[in-house]
Amino acid sequence: MKINRLQPKLVVVTGAGSGIGRAISLRFAKLGAHVVVSDIDLTTADETVALIQANGDRASSTLLDVTDPDAWERVAADVRATFGVADVLVNNAGLVITGAFLDTTPQSWDRQLGPNLLGVVYGSLVFGRQMAELGRGHIVNIASAASYTPVPGTSAYNVSKAGVRMLTDCLRVELGPKGVSATSICPGLINTNLGNHAETVGIDANLFQDGMGMLDRVRDFVDTLPISPLSPDLVARAAVRGVRFDLDVVPVRTEAWLTYAMYRIAPSVTRGILRQFPVERLEAAGARLLDVLDRTAKPDTASHGRPLVAATTNGHSAFDGGHQ
């Protein structure tokens, strides 16, 4: 660990229309940076900009599909022409696909690795080149505790985030001598909308949506607490800390630190424990838990024998093992 002399004045954040990306944008803007808020949904990016400007801070928005290398080239060129070379790039955009490994199709793997891994590669390439030209800069990659925890049912997501973490190590080795560093942020359970947009393979769709509804109830309860133990701002603070102290890996929350310690000290123990929870067992346990919870809830109508939990979460958040 060392004190980074870089003082971020221009920060680019992907997937910044909500959740972790929005929190990171607000945090860097509060510290005095102009933040370029990028998202595949320009409306939500504009909403983040409005929040930043309402605080008296500076930001602008841009449309970006992180899976499109040409879009990255365009955005990088526009940012440089308008504001100069970015001091910090935060690769946050991503999605999650859940399901057993044997049910995950090649198309699902492409869909998962595109934004989560290749999007990070493309962004690091175009902005990393600009930073290296000036001999300064920092790339923050939002990975996940899943990058070192082989959780059953999310193999594609786990692999994508493990790739991000290794890419960050490679950037530190190759770009470090050029004055550019990189940090992996590895969140545990964080209150984001990642689950709202999750894709499932081989899993009962009704069960999954009911599970999201249950998490929404938990989210509403957490919001009533005097503290925010699952707040995306925890990740935002970690991102700032990662840049300030030039950290390589920053787990976020206790469970992320514990699993990281187990990964470093006794990875076989972690694998042995998780083998006891195959996807089929987790799915069955989830169904039983939902039945118990629904019996204690109001007897609303249901088409499948249980009180109906909203199929969507009405704009609220689900829990993110990693980010966005």
Among candidates 125, 113, 116, which has minimal Cα distance to 75?
125
Residue with token string 């089929």: 280
For the stretch 51-66, pLDDT in tens is 999 999 999 999 999 9
- Asked, for residue 211, whether it belongs to a domain, the answer is yes
- Looking at residue 268, its pLDDT comes to 93
Q: Worst-scoring range by mean pLDDT, 71-75, 103-107, 199-203? A: 199-203
Residue 302 within any structural domain of the chain: yes
- Single pTM value for the model: 0.84
106 located within any domain: yes
Domain that includes residue 296, residue range? 10-320
Q: Please state, in angstroms and rounded to a whole number, the distance separating the CA atoms of residues 153 and 235.
A: 24
User: Catalytic annotation on 157?
Assistant: yes
1 in a structural domain: no
Picking from 97, 319, 99, 312, the residue whose alpha carbon sits closest to that of residue 193 is 319
Q: What pLDDT is recorded for position 304?
A: 44
pLDDT band at 297 (very low <50, low <70, confident <90, very high): low
**Percent of the chain topping pLDDT 90:** 67
Strand ranges in the chain using DSSP code E only, listed in sequence order: 10-13, 34-39, 59-63, 88-91, 97-98, 137-142, 180-187, 190-192, 199-200, 249-252, 318-320
Looking at the 3D structure of the chain, how many domains does it have?
1
Q: Is residue 15 part of a domain?
A: yes
CATH of the domain at 120: 3.40.50.720
Q: Domain for residue 3, yes or no?
A: no
Bin 149: left if φ > 0, else alpha if -120 < ψ < 50, else beta.
Answer: beta
Question: Residue 314: what pLDDT?
Answer: 32
Average pLDDT value for residue range 280-308:
57
Candidate list 122, 157, 260, 263, residue with the active-site label: 157
Give the mean pLDDT of 300-313.
37
pLDDT digits (tens, 9 = 90+) for 198-241: 677 766 666 556 555 556 666 666 666 666 677 999 999 999 99
Distance CA 180, CA 271 (A): 35
On the question of pLDDT at 95 being above 70, the answer is yes
Q: Is residue 24 part of a domain?
A: yes
State the pLDDT at residue 5: 84
